[in-house]
Amino acid sequence: MSASNQREGVVLHDRLFVPYITPQEIARGVEEVAARIRDRRSESAPLLICVLKGATLFFADLLRSLDFPVTIDFVRASSYGNGMVSGETLTFTAEPGTEIAGRNVIVVEDIIDTGRTVTALREYFAARHAQTVEVAALLYKPAAHHTGEKPEYVAFEIADRFVVGYGLDYAEQGRNLSGIYVLAEEGEAQVEESATDEHAG
């Protein structure tokens, strides 16, 4: 996607999304999270866990911003269907192969909405005797009445609105966008709709 059309909206499955957080702002947010992880780190290399699929771009950029030894693994937990409302049930469809016991685990998530996914992940790693479990989230929706603890590291607190891009999807579309886009409200949709349907990726 070129720099010029990042100011415009994108249409995914007939819904319009408008720019919300630019790639430049994301890069600064990732650097800040990396700096805070660096400040709080202990002797041993942390085990960073990427929560598939949404955290992949944040994970890759965060890793490159950490200038000390880390190891990585992946988990796939799914609580969303193809809609925009958080699902009731969480299923683990891929689990890390790394030995968890004694490790300082940092769970890297794209977004915390209700907090169910992250709460289940904290329990998962605690049950496997991680020494510490922390959470690094790109986005955090404080208005979503989530039940769990606040993440130790957050790049951006956002409004309770549906967002896509930079790994996050709407029914599997939009993950490849470099910026974060928010579902347009009605007024915005009327202004931008005609000019935007060629920029879905």
- Measured in degrees and rounded to the nearest 5, phi and psi for residue 155 equal -80, -45
Task: List, in sequence order, every residue forming a beta bridge with 94; answer none if it has no partner.
Answer: 76
Compute the least distance from the CB of residue 82 to Mg ion, in Å. 9
Q: Is residue 162 a contact residue for Mg ion (CB under 5 A)?
A: no
Using CB under 5 A as the binding rule, the residues of this chain from 80 to 109 that contact Mg ion are 80
**Minimum CB distance to Mg ion smaller for 54 or for 165:** 54
Task: List, in sequence order, every residue forming a beta bridge with 156; answer none if it has no partner.
Answer: 139
Distance, in Å, from the CA atom of 138 to the CA atom of 62, rounded to the nearest integer, reads: 10
Tell me which stretch binds ligand IMP (CB under 6 A): 5-13, 127-135, 160-168, 185-193: 160-168
Mutual orientation of helices 56-65 and 23-40 as an angle, nearest 10°? 60
Place of tokens 């958080």: 86
Any catalytic annotation for residue 113? yes
**Minimum CB distance to Mg ion smaller for 80 or for 162:** 80
Structure tokens that stand for 169 in this block: 């999807």
Distance, in Å, from the CA atom of 65 to the CA atom of 85, rounded to the nearest integer, reads: 32
**Minimum CB distance to ligand IMP smaller for 1 or for 80:** 80
111 binds, among ligand IMP, Mg ion, none (CB under 5 to 8 A by kind): ligand IMP
Q: Active-site positions?
A: 113
List of residues contacting ligand IMP (CB under 6 A): 54, 79-80, 86, 109-117, 162-164, 168
The binding site for Mg ion (CB under 5 A) comprises 54, 80
